[in-house]
Amino acid sequence: RLHHFDDSDKEEINDTINVEDYKQVLIDPRTTRYSFTFRVMDLIPYTKYEFRLKGFIGATPSAYSNSVFIKTLETIPDKIDNLHGYVWNETSIVVHWTPPNSTNGPNF
């Protein structure tokens, strides 16, 4: 399960992203490797994720590891909708639009 947080980094969004295709890795206990790397793909831009791991021996689980929080990079905002405008006076116009569903970053 991946929990994601809003852009302010302060409040967890109520939804939890359930990762159905989790990665099971079998490691030979006699291995001399002490470091492993995995890439998680198709995440939401400008979103903070919590990662933690749990080991198993057979069906017996370990406790979860400490959490690591990582925020994905920002990207271009979603499309703006309902753009319209009108003349205000001889030197000005007024433009209105509906903000995008996701700004995908802090500076929209």
What pLDDT digit, counting tens, does each position of 52-68 carry?
888 877 788 889 889 89
Mean pLDDT of 74-96: 94
Q: Which residue has the higher pLDDT, 39 or 22?
A: 39
pTM of the model: 0.60
Residue 66 confidence (pLDDT): 92
d(CA 104, CA 81): 16
**pLDDT surpassing 70 at residue 11:** no
Q: Which residue has the higher pLDDT, 57 or 21?
A: 57
Three-state SS sequence of 30-57: CCCCCCCCCCCCCCCCCCEEEECCCCEE
| Cβ atoms of 62 and 56 closer than 8 Å | yes
Residue found by looking up tokens 């470091």 in the block: 35
Percent of the chain at pLDDT above 70? 69
Amino acid identity for residue 53 in this structure: L
What is the torsion angle, in degrees rounded to the nearest 10, for the CA atoms of residue 5, residue 67, residue 20 and residue 63? -140
Model confidence band, residue 33 (pLDDT cutoffs 50, 70, 90): low
